[in-house]
Structure 1
Amino acid sequence: MGRLILLGVEVDPLTMDELNGLIEEAVRDGRKIIIANHNLHSVYLYHSDSKMRAFFKKADVIHIDGMPLVYWARALGYRVSSGQRVTYIDWIYSLASIAETKGWRIFYLGGKLGVASRAALRLREKYPRLEIRTHHGYFAPEENGKILADIAVYRPHILMVGMGMPRQEHWVLDNLDKIQANAILTAGACFDYVAGAIPTPPRWMGRIGFEWLYRLMSEPRRLWRRYLWEPWFLLPLLIGDVVKRIRRNS
C-alpha cells in the first residue's frame, strides 16, 4: 500500500519492522532521512502552522501515530491494520535493541533537565551495549550552535528530537542543513515515558484507541485542549474525506 491522504495530510501506513528497515537502509547508504509522524494533534497543527507544513514536505517518511487515523482510514475503505500505527512508547525498545545489535549510535535531544539521561540509563540496563547520548530540550537560543556541534562530533546514526509538537519539527526544519545523522526522528515525549516522568498508558488502551483518555486523565491541564477542543476543528476535513470517497465510488 502506498501513501494515503487522510484529513488533508499524507501518511505512510508502515509497520515498526518496515520503519526499522528504512533506518537500516539509510545507515547502510550513508543517507539522511527524516521520519515524521501524524496523529490528530499534528493534523491540527499542520493545517494551522505553515512551518509544520514545510517540515512535513521535507519528511521522507510519515508514519501513523494514533489509532483514530487508523480507524478513519478503515472507514474510508483502506486496509490499514493496528500494526501500522507505530508509537514511540512501543517503538523505542525495538529501535534500541536493533541499535545495540548493529552498533548504531543514538542521540536524544529533548525533555527536562535530567529526564533524558535517566531514560538513557534505563535503556542501557536493558541493552548494555547501546551507544546513546542525550541533551535536555530546555536550552537557550545561544546554546543551539554548541548542541549541533556536539551532535556533529558524536555523528549519531539516529537523532531523536523530543521537544513536543510543533517545537521539535520547527527545530529540525531550522537546523536540517547542519544536522549530521542518518535518521532524524521527531519523538515527542518518548523519553519522558521511558524515564517514568510521565505515566505510561496501558498498552491495551493504545491498541484500541483509548490511549488519549489515559493521557488526558494523567495530565488534564496540559492536554485538555488537544483532546477536547482541537478535534472539532478537524470536522470539515472529515466531511471533505467522505465527500471525496463518495465521488470516487459514484
Structure 2
Amino acid sequence: MQNNHDVSIMDIKFINMTKQELLDQILIPRIEREEKTFIVTANPEFVMHARENKQFKETIQSADIIVPDGIGIIKAAKIKKQPLKERIAGYELMLDLLKYANMNGLACYFLGASKLVNEKVINVIKSKYPQINIVGHHHGFFDLHDPKIKEEVAEAKPGFVFVALGMMKQEQWISEQLPRHKKGVFIGIGGSFDTLTGEVKRAPQKWIDLNLEWLYRIIKQPFR
C-alpha cells in the first residue's frame, strides 16, 4: 500500500499520519474488510540495517504500512522538509490493536520472547483483555523456517499476529508467513512483550513526551 502523503527516508516510505488517523482511516477499515495487512514499526536502526542489507530492505518495502517509531525518523523527515505528523510507538500501536481485538472478540496469536515471558503475556492478556480469543502462542526460540510453527499459526486463522522476535527476524518471519493467510494483521513488535509483562519498564511519560525514551533505554540497558 502506498500513499501520496508518505515520506521517504533512504527509500523507506513512512506513513504520514497520526496514530489515531492511521487507526480510523486505514487499519480499522482494513480489519473490517478482512484485508491482510503487514505492519512494520521502524526506527533509525531499521533504516540503517536496510541500507546495508538488500534483502531486509526489500522485506520492509513489501509491508503495507511502515510507521515512524523513533525520534530519529521524525528529525530526518524535518531535515528533508517533509515533516511527519508524529512518532507512532510500536508498543502504543500494539495496545490499541489489543483494545480493538478485545472490544470485538477477535482471534490473536502471540509469537516471540522467552518461554517465561510468552507465558506471562498470555496471563496478562487474559486479565486485561478477557474478550480476546487467544488462538495460540509460542516463544521465540525456534528455527525461523520451522514449518510446524508456520502451520500452527496458519491453521489458527488469527485476526492479529503479534510477533516479538526482534528486528529483522520478525519481519523475515512475517514476510515468509503471509502467503499462508487470507486475512489478518501481522505486526513486528520487538521487545513489547517484555514491556507488557513488566519485565522491562518503559520510560516515564515525561521522558516519552520529551522524545527521550531512547535515552532512558540506554541508561537502563546500556548493553543495548
TM range (shorter): 0.7 to 0.9
Question: Mapping of 1:155-234 within 5 angstroms?
Answer: 155-179=157-181, 181-221=183-223, 223=224
Match of 1:95 in 2: 97
Relative distance call for 1:220 and 1:76 in structure 2 (3 A) is: same
Where does the alignment leave 5 or more consecutive residues of structure 1 unmatched?
A: 224-250
The answer to which of 91-100 and 188-197 deviates more is 91-100
Q: CA deviation at 1:117?
A: 2.4
Match of 1:66 in 2: 70
Tell me how far apart the structure 2 counterparts of residues 179 and 135 of structure 1 sit (CA, whole Å).
Answer: 18
Where does the alignment leave 5 or more consecutive residues of structure 2 unmatched?
A: none
Q: Pick from 134, 139, 142: which aligns with 2:137? A: 134
Structure 2 SS opposite 1:220? coil
Tell me how far apart the structure 1 counterparts of residues 183 and 100 of structure 2 sit (CA, whole Å).
Answer: 17
* Percent of aligned pairs with the same amino acid: 23
Structure 2 SS opposite 1:85? coil
Relative distance call for 1:175 and 1:128 in structure 2 (3 A) is: closer
The number of aligned residues is 219
Tell me how far apart the structure 1 counterparts of residues 49 and 202 of structure 2 sit (CA, whole Å).
Answer: 24
Give the structure with higher Rg (CA). 1
Tell me how far apart the structure 2 counterparts of residues 19 and 158 of structure 1 sit (CA, whole Å).
Answer: 16
Tell me how far apart the structure 2 counterparts of residues 191 and 19 of structure 1 sit (CA, whole Å).
Answer: 22
Q: Pick from 16, 21, 32: which aligns with 2:19? A: 16
> Which letter does structure 2 place at the counterpart of 1:71?
K
Match of 1:54 in 2: 58
> Which letter does structure 1 place at the counterpart of 2:167?
M
Q: Is the 8 A contact 2:74 2:83 kept in 1?
A: no
> Which letter does structure 2 place at the counterpart of 1:97?
K
Match of 2:106 in 1: 104
Using the size of structure 1 for normalisation, the TM-score is: 0.79
Q: CA deviation at 1:189?
A: 0.9
Q: CA deviation at 1:179?
A: 4.3
Q: Deviations over 1:68-104 (max 9, x none)?
A: 22233234333433xx311132223222111111122
Q: CA deviation at 1:214?
A: 1.3
Relative distance call for 1:117 and 1:20 in structure 2 (3 A) is: farther
Q: Deviations over 1:190-212 (max 9, x none)?
A: 11110122221223222322111
> Which letter does structure 1 place at the counterpart of 2:34?
G
Using the size of structure 2 for normalisation, the TM-score is: 0.88
Structure 1 SS opposite 2:115? coil
Match of 2:32 in 1: 28
Q: Is the 8 A contact 1:156 1:182 kept in 2?
A: yes
Q: CA deviation at 1:174?
A: 2.7
Q: Deviations over 1:224-243 (max 9, x none)?
A: xxxxxxxxxxxxxxxxxxxx
Higher helix share: 1
Q: CA deviation at 1:7?
A: 4.0
The answer to which of 8-17 and 93-102 deviates more is 8-17
Match of 2:116 in 1: 114
Q: Deviations over 1:100-131 (max 9, x none)?
A: 11122121211011212212322332222122
Relative distance call for 1:93 and 1:37 in structure 2 (3 A) is: closer
Q: Deviations over 1:1-53 (max 9, x none)?
A: 70111244221122222333433222322321211122111011110111211
Relative distance call for 1:70 and 1:219 in structure 2 (3 A) is: same
